[in-house]
Structure 1
Amino acid sequence: MRILHVLSANFFAGSVAYAVALAEAHRRQGHQVWLASDAAHLPTAATVVQLPISQRKYRQRWHNVQELRHLIKVHNIDVVHAHSRAASWVSYFAVRGLAVPLVSTVHGRQHLHTSTSLFDVYGDKVIAICENLAAHLRTEVKTAPRKLAVIPNGIAFDTLGAPPPAPAGEVPRMAFIGRFNGPKGERAAALFEHVFPPLLREYSALRVALIGGELDHLPATGKVALGALQAEFGERVEVVGFTDDVAGWLAKTDLVIGAGRVAIEALGAGRAVLALGEARYAGPVTEATYAAAAASNFGDILAQQGTEAVDWQVVLRDARAFWQQPGRVAPALQQRVRADYDLAAIAARVLAVYESARMQKAVPGFIPVLMYHKIPDAPLASRHQIFVTKENFAKHLAYFQQQKFTPITFLDYQDFASGRRPLAEFPRRPIILTFDDGYVDNYTNLLPLMQQAGYRGVLYLLGDFGVRYNYWDADADPTEPRADIMDAAQKQAFVAAGWEIGAHTMRHARLPELPAAEAAAEIQQSKTALEQALGTEIISFAYPYGALTEAVKTQVQQAGFTYAVATDTGGLHLEDDRMQIFRVNIFPHETTGSLFKKTAPWYRRYYRWKRGK
C-alpha cells in the first residue's frame, strides 16, 4: 500500500513520535510511505517532504493543499493519514474529488471551529487514541460512530528493553516527564510548589528529574518554584530538559509522574506511575485502575469539556505511599501494557482502518451477504426453517446468474482491500454466499450445484471435528430432525474447490452466555483447529445464533479475525463494522421477488426501518 502521512512537526511532540514510528512500522512491512511535515528531517527511512503544515494562514494552507494533491497524484497514493487538525484540514481539501480516502488520528480534544460543522475535515475514518476521546468526538464533535475506531498510540517496547531491578544502594529517583508549557506546565508548577519540596525534605537521598521540552515556557509561578527547589536542594533537582534518551532515564527512575506516551513507556518498562495529565489526576496505575486510567490516556483527556481540579495533597499522599514501600509494576500489568500498546499490533489495526476506508470509498454500496444452512433433497419438518431444498437452491443460483451477480468470499474482498488485487477488477455486482455448520447435504447437494454455476462461497465450520450432528437443535428439541455434519474429507473438498472456510466456534456455543475466558477459548481455538486440520487461512467468523455483545466482538478481533458475520444485525455498509457484518437470512420459500428484495441496495436500510433498528 502507498501511504502518505501528514503531520504538524514544528516540534517533536508525542503525536509526531507516534506518526514516525507508525510510518516506520509500515515501511518495514513492505509498504511505500511518505511523510509531509514542517520538519525537513525526521528519524525515519521513509521519504520526508517538507511543508509548513502547522502554518494556518489561508494562503499557505492552499499552497499546502496543492502540494499534497500533487504528491497524491504523482505517487498514486492509496491512503492519506493526517495526525493533527491542521493536517486534516489541508488533507481534506487535497483529496476532494479523488478516490483516495483520508484517515485522521485525533490525539487530543478538538476545538469546535465553524469549519467543523461546514466540512467533515477528519475524513473517511477517524482514529481516537483513547475511549474518552472517542466519546468527545461522538458527543461534542458529532462524528458518526461508524467512522470511529479506538486505537491507542503504539510503542516499540523492544527499543526500551526490560530494565533490571535497581541494584542495592542506587540513588532513589522520581521523574516528571512531559512538556513544560501550556496546561502541563501548570501541572509541573504545582508539583514544584506542593509535592516535590516535602518529599525531598523527608527522603534525604531522593532525587527529582525534570525531563521534557519547553522549560523556558514554564508559567511564572513554575519558574519561581523551580528556582526555590534548586536553591534548597541543589543537584538533587536534575533539570534534564529535552532528551532523546528517555529509555535511559526510565532505567534509573523508580517513580514516574506523567501522562500519555510517558505513562505507557514507563509502565512498559516496569516503572511505577502516578498518572497526571492536563485534564485530570488518574492516580497510581495498578491492575485495578489501569482500564480507567487508559480511557483518559493516563490523565490527558476527559470525555466532556473541562478539567478536573487536582488535590495536590492526594498526589503527595500517593507519592509518599510509594516511597514508604518502593517497588516495580506488577509483571501482569507490565505485560498487559506491552500487549495493548505494542507497535506491531497497533500498526496492523491501523492498516485495517486504511483498508476499510479504501473499500468504503471504492465500493460505497450495500454488498448482500446471504446466510444459508441446510440444502436437503426435500423439505424438512423443522420449526427453525433453516433450509433451502436442492431444487429451490438451484433456482436461487439461476436468479443470481440472471441478475449478473458475482459471488466473492471474504478472502477475495480482503485481497482487494489490501491492494493485492487492483480495485479496478472489483465486480460490479458482488454477493457473498455463506453456509453455516457444515451439514452433509452441503457436500452432496450444495457443492455440485455451486461448481456447476462456477461459484464459490464461505463455509462456516465448527473447530471440533468430533461434532457429527446438530446436537444444539436435535438434543434440545425432540421434534427437530437430526442433521449430520460432514467428515474431514468432505470438508477438505470445499477447500480444494476454492471455497473460503470460516470459524463458527468449537461446538456451536452461545458466546454471550459463557464466562469470558471460555468464550475466548471457543473463538481462538476454532480458528487454530480449522487452520491446522484443513491447511487454509481463516479470516472470518460467524457468531452462532447471531448472538454477540461488544465484549464478544472484541474477543473475535483479538483472536485475529478480520471479518465477523452476524444475523440480521450490523451496519448499512460492510465497512461500518467489520466485526458485525449484516447477513440476510434465507428461508425455504424464497421467491424471485423476495430474492430481489434481499439483494437490493436498499434492503439493509429497509430492514432497519421495518424493525425499528
Structure 2
Amino acid sequence: MRILHVLSAEFFAGSVAYAVQLAEAHRAQGHQVWMLSESDQLPTGATQVVAPISNRRYAQRLRNARFIRQLVRQENIDVVHAHARAASWVSYFALRGIKIPLVSTVHGRQHLHASTSLFDIYGDKVIAICGNLREHLVTEVKMAASKIVEIPNGVNFGAAPKLNEELRMRNEELSSGNSSFLILNSSLTQPLRVAFIGRFNGGKGERAAALLQQVFPELLREFPQLRVALIGGELEQLPAAGKTALEQLQGEFGERVEVVGFTKDVPGWLARTALVIGAGRVAIEALGAGRSVLALGEASYEGLVTDDTFAAAAASNFGDISAQVASPAVDWAAILEDAQAFLQAPQPVTAELQQRVRVHYDLATVATRVLEVYREARMRKAAPDFIPVLMYHKIPDAPLETKHKIYVTKENFEKHLAYFQKQKLTPITFADYLKFANGELPLAQFPARPIILTFDDGYTDNYTNLLPLMQQYGYRGVMYLLGDFEVRHNQWDLAADPTEPRSEIMDLAQKRAFVAAGWEIGAHTMSHLRLTTLPPSEAAQEIQRSKAELEATLQTQIVSFAYPYGDSNDTVKKAVREAGFTLGVSTDTGGMHLEDDRMQVFRINMFPNESASSLFKKTSTWYRKYYRWKRKK
C-alpha cells in the first residue's frame, strides 16, 4: 500500500513519534510511505516532503491542500493519514471529489470550531488513541461513533529487560530495611533517581514547574541519596516560575538535580531510574521497560500505575486526556505523598503488568490494526453502500423434491445471469475485493455496481451446469468447498433427514477446473459440521484444517470462510480470524456494510422461483436495510 502521513506539529511531539514509528513498521511490512511535515529531518526512512502544514492562514491552507492533492496524484497514494486537526483540515479539502480515503488519528482533545460541524474534516475513519478520547469525540465533538476506532499508540519495546526479576527479588529481601530503595536501579552502586520525562512547554511545562516548586524540594531533602532528572525537549520554554525553582534547587542540591534536556538515550535513562513521572508515550515506554510510573499528564493525575489501576490510567493516556471538560487542577500534596510512599516502600512493576503493557501497545500489532482501518476506509470510499452477496447451492437440470429449497435450476440460473448483465451488475470475488482494499488495484477501477456470487458445498451440477454458464457470461464466483475430499455427497442432509435427495459432490479434477477458471475457492469446514455445537478446540480444528487442506490440494490461496448453516458466535468467529481468514460469510445475519464485520458478512438466500422483482430487490443496495426492518435481523 502507498501511504501518505500528513503532520502539522512544529516540534517532535508525541504525535510525530507515533507517526514515525508507524511509518517504519509499515515500511518493514513492505509498504511505501511518505511523510509530509514541517521538517525533512525526521528519523525515518520514508520519503520526506516539506510543507508548512501548521500555518493556519487560509491562503496557505489552500496552497497546502493543492500541494497534497498534487502529491497524491503524482505518487498514486492509496490512503492519507493525518495527525492533528490542521493536517486533517488541509487533507480533507485536498481529497474532496477523488476516491482516496482520509484517516485521522486524534491524539488529544479537540477544540470545537464552526468547520467541525460544517465539514467532517477528520475523514472516513478516525483513530482515537485511548478510551477517554473516543468518549470525547462522541459526546462533545458529536462525531459518529461508527467511524471511530480505538487504537493506542504503538511502541517498539524491543527485548524485555532481563534485570527486573533480579531487582524485584532483591527488593523483597531488603524491603524491611531503610536501604531498600537503593537497589531499584540497574546497578546497586547507582543512586536512586526520580525522573520527569516530557515536554517543558504548554501544559506539560506547567506540570514540570509545579513539581520543581512543590514536590522535588521535599523529596531531595527527605532522601539524601535521591537524584532528580529533567528529561525532554524545549527546556528553555519552562515557565518562569519553574526556571526560578530549578535555579534554587541546583543551588541547594548541586549535581543531585540533573538537567538532561533532549536526549536520544531515553531507554538508558529509564534503566537508571527508579520512578518516572510522566504521561502518554513516556508512561508507556517506562512501564514496558519495567519502570514504576506516577501518571501525571496535562488533564489529570492518575497516581502510581499498578495492575489494578492500569485500565483507568490507560483510558486517559496516563493523565493526558479527559473524557469530559474538566479542571486540570492537581493535588500536589497527594503527588508528594505518593512519591514519598514509593521511595519508602518501593512497589516494582510486576511481570504481569509489564507484559500487559507490552502486548497492549505492541507496535507490530498496532500497525496491523491501523492497516485494517486503511483497508476499511478504502472500501467504504469505493462502495459506500451495501454490496449484494448472493448464496446459491445446487444448479440442477430439473426441480428437486426437497424441503430445503436450496437450488436454482439451470434454466432459471441463466435468467439470473441475464438479469445481472442487463442491470450492469459486475460479479467480483472476495479476493478481488481485497485487492482493492489492500491497494493492489486502484479504487477508480472498482465497479460501479458490484455483486458477489457464492456457491456452497461444491455439487457436481456446479461443474456440469454452473461453470459453463458463468464462463458464457464472462463471470467468476466464490466456491465454498469442504476440506475433506473424501466427502462425495450431502451426507449431513441425509443424516438429518433420510428422505432428502442424495446430491453428489465434485471430484478433485472438477474442483480444480474452478481454480483454473479463475474462481475463488473458500473453506466450508472439513465435513459440514455445525460449529457452534462443537467444543471450541474441535471447532478450531475444523476451521484450520479446512484451510490447510484446500490450499495444499488445490494450490490456491484461501481468504474467506463460509459458516455451515450460517451458524456462528463470537468464539467461532474468533477461531476463523485466528486461522488466517480475512472474511467469514454468514446467512441472513451480518452488518449493513461488508466492512461492519468482516467475520460476519451478510449473504442473501437464493431460491428456486426468484422473479424479476425479487432479483431487483435482492440486488439493490437498500436490501440489507429492508431485510433488517422486515425480519429484525
Query: TM-score normalised by the shorter chain: which range applies?
Result: 0.7 to 0.9
8 Å Cα contact 1:447/1:494 also seen in 2: yes
Q: CA offset at residue 597 of structure 1?
A: 0.8
Which string of whole-angstrom CA distances, capped at 9 and with x for unpartnered residues, describes residues 480-510 of structure 1?
Answer: 8898887877766654543323345678787
Q: Bigger shift: 38-47 or 240-249?
A: 38-47
Partner Cα distance (2:419, 2:387) in 1: 16
Q: Bigger shift: 529-538 or 593-602?
A: 529-538
Partner Cα distance (1:291, 1:472) in 2: 47
2:432 to 408, 412, 415: 412
- In the other structure, the counterpart of 2:124 is 124
- In the other structure, the counterpart of 1:246 is 266
Partner Cα distance (1:201, 1:522) in 2: 66
Q: Bigger shift: 471-480 or 248-257?
A: 471-480
Partner Cα distance (2:528, 2:310) in 1: 34
Alignment of 1:317-336 (within 5 A): 319=339, 320-321=341-342, 324-330=345-351, 332-336=352-356
Q: CA offset at residue 163 of structure 1?
A: 5.8
- Cα gap change, 1:457 to 1:184, in 2 (>3 Å): same
What RMSD in Å do the two structures reach over aligned CA positions? 4.0
- In the other structure, the counterpart of 1:82 is 82
Q: Bigger shift: 452-461 or 86-95?
A: 452-461
Give the residue type in structure 2 aligned to 1:426.
F
Which string of whole-angstrom CA distances, capped at 9 and with x for unpartnered residues, describes residues 6-61 of structure 1?
Answer: 11131110101122222333344444433221224222233322222112122322
- In the other structure, the counterpart of 1:154 is 154
- Cα gap change, 1:227 to 1:553, in 2 (>3 Å): farther
- Cα gap change, 1:584 to 1:202, in 2 (>3 Å): farther
Partner Cα distance (1:513, 1:222) in 2: 65
Partner Cα distance (2:335, 2:506) in 1: 63
- Cα gap change, 1:393 to 1:41, in 2 (>3 Å): same
- In the other structure, the counterpart of 1:64 is 64
Give the residue type in structure 2 aligned to 1:303.
A
Q: CA offset at residue 187 of structure 1?
A: 3.5
- In the other structure, the counterpart of 2:320 is 300
- Cα gap change, 1:533 to 1:225, in 2 (>3 Å): farther
Q: Bigger shift: 149-158 or 394-403?
A: 394-403
Q: CA offset at residue 557 of structure 1?
A: 5.2
Partner Cα distance (2:535, 2:218) in 1: 48
Q: CA offset at residue 214 of structure 1?
A: 3.1
- In the other structure, the counterpart of 2:559 is 539
- Cα gap change, 1:225 to 1:409, in 2 (>3 Å): same
Q: CA offset at residue 291 of structure 1?
A: 4.0
- In the other structure, the counterpart of 1:91 is 91
Partner-residue secondary structure (3-state), 1:249: helix
Q: Bigger shift: 468-477 or 121-130?
A: 468-477
- In the other structure, the counterpart of 1:14 is 14
- Cα gap change, 1:285 to 1:231, in 2 (>3 Å): same
Q: Bigger shift: 586-595 or 287-296?
A: 287-296
Partner Cα distance (1:21, 1:265) in 2: 13
- In the other structure, the counterpart of 2:450 is 430
Partner Cα distance (2:579, 2:329) in 1: 40
- Cα gap change, 1:168 to 1:104, in 2 (>3 Å): same
Partner-residue secondary structure (3-state), 1:240: strand
Which string of whole-angstrom CA distances, capped at 9 and with x for unpartnered residues, describes residues 413-446 of structure 1?
Answer: 1223333234454334321122345667766765
8 Å Cα contact 2:455/2:479 also seen in 1: yes
Partner-residue secondary structure (3-state), 1:149: strand
Give the residue type in structure 2 aligned to 1:185.
G
2:602 to 572, 582, 588: 582
Say yes or no: does 1:421 pair with 2:441. Answer: yes
Q: CA offset at residue 552 of structure 1?
A: 7.2
Partner Cα distance (2:227, 2:543) in 1: 49
Q: Bigger shift: 206-215 or 388-397?
A: 388-397
- In the other structure, the counterpart of 1:265 is 285
Q: CA offset at residue 220 of structure 1?
A: 5.2
Partner Cα distance (1:284, 1:440) in 2: 66
- In the other structure, the counterpart of 1:357 is 377
Give the residue type in structure 1 aligned to 2:101.
P
Partner Cα distance (1:329, 1:58) in 2: 51
Partner Cα distance (2:286, 2:296) in 1: 13
Q: CA offset at residue 179 of structure 1?
A: 1.9
Partner Cα distance (2:127, 2:505) in 1: 42
- In the other structure, the counterpart of 1:237 is 257
Q: Percent identity?
A: 69
Which protein has the larger Cα radius of gyration, Structure 1 or Structure 2?
A: 2
- Cα gap change, 1:476 to 1:261, in 2 (>3 Å): farther
8 Å Cα contact 2:103/2:127 also seen in 1: yes
Q: CA offset at residue 538 of structure 1?
A: 3.0
- Cα gap change, 1:542 to 1:203, in 2 (>3 Å): farther
Q: Count residues with an aligned counterpart.
A: 610
8 Å Cα contact 1:37/1:52 also seen in 2: yes
Partner Cα distance (1:259, 1:202) in 2: 25
Q: Which runs of 5+ in 2 are unaligned?
A: 165-185
Say yes or no: does 1:277 pair with 2:314. Answer: no
Q: Bigger shift: 441-450 or 360-369?
A: 441-450
Partner Cα distance (1:233, 1:561) in 2: 61
8 Å Cα contact 1:271/1:329 also seen in 2: no
8 Å Cα contact 1:163/1:270 also seen in 2: no
Partner-residue secondary structure (3-state), 1:208: strand
Give the residue type in structure 1 aligned to 2:8.
S
- In the other structure, the counterpart of 1:45 is 45
Partner-residue secondary structure (3-state), 1:157: coil
8 Å Cα contact 2:378/2:443 also seen in 1: no
Q: Bigger shift: 132-141 or 227-236?
A: 227-236
Give the residue type in structure 2 aligned to 1:301.
I
8 Å Cα contact 2:298/2:328 also seen in 1: no
8 Å Cα contact 1:189/1:219 also seen in 2: yes
Q: Bigger shift: 552-561 or 173-182?
A: 552-561
Partner Cα distance (1:545, 1:315) in 2: 59
Which string of whole-angstrom CA distances, capped at 9 and with x for unpartnered residues, describes residues 345-395 of structure 1?
Answer: 43333333333333333444432111334556754544x655545665454
Q: Bigger shift: 49-58 or 116-125?
A: 49-58
Partner Cα distance (1:483, 1:316) in 2: 78
- Cα gap change, 1:568 to 1:96, in 2 (>3 Å): same
Partner Cα distance (1:234, 1:513) in 2: 71
- Cα gap change, 1:440 to 1:324, in 2 (>3 Å): farther
Give the residue type in structure 2 aligned to 1:586.
M
- Cα gap change, 1:57 to 1:589, in 2 (>3 Å): same
- Cα gap change, 1:507 to 1:163, in 2 (>3 Å): farther
Partner Cα distance (1:484, 1:588) in 2: 19
Give the residue type in structure 2 aligned to 1:118.
L
Q: CA offset at residue 106 of structure 1?
A: 1.2
Say yes or no: does 1:562 pair with 2:570. Answer: no
Q: CA offset at residue 127 of structure 1?
A: 2.0
Q: CA offset at residue 448 of structure 1?
A: 6.1
TM-score (norm 2): 0.81
Q: CA offset at residue 577 of structure 1?
A: 4.6
Partner Cα distance (2:532, 2:302) in 1: 31
- In the other structure, the counterpart of 2:363 is 343
Say yes or no: does 1:185 pair with 2:205. Answer: yes
Partner-residue secondary structure (3-state), 1:103: strand
Partner Cα distance (1:522, 1:271) in 2: 44
Q: CA offset at residue 540 of structure 1?
A: 2.8
Partner Cα distance (1:152, 1:241) in 2: 26
8 Å Cα contact 1:82/1:88 also seen in 2: yes
- Cα gap change, 1:174 to 1:567, in 2 (>3 Å): farther
Which string of whole-angstrom CA distances, capped at 9 and with x for unpartnered residues, describes residues 551-583 of structure 1?
Answer: 876776566443343444444443455444332
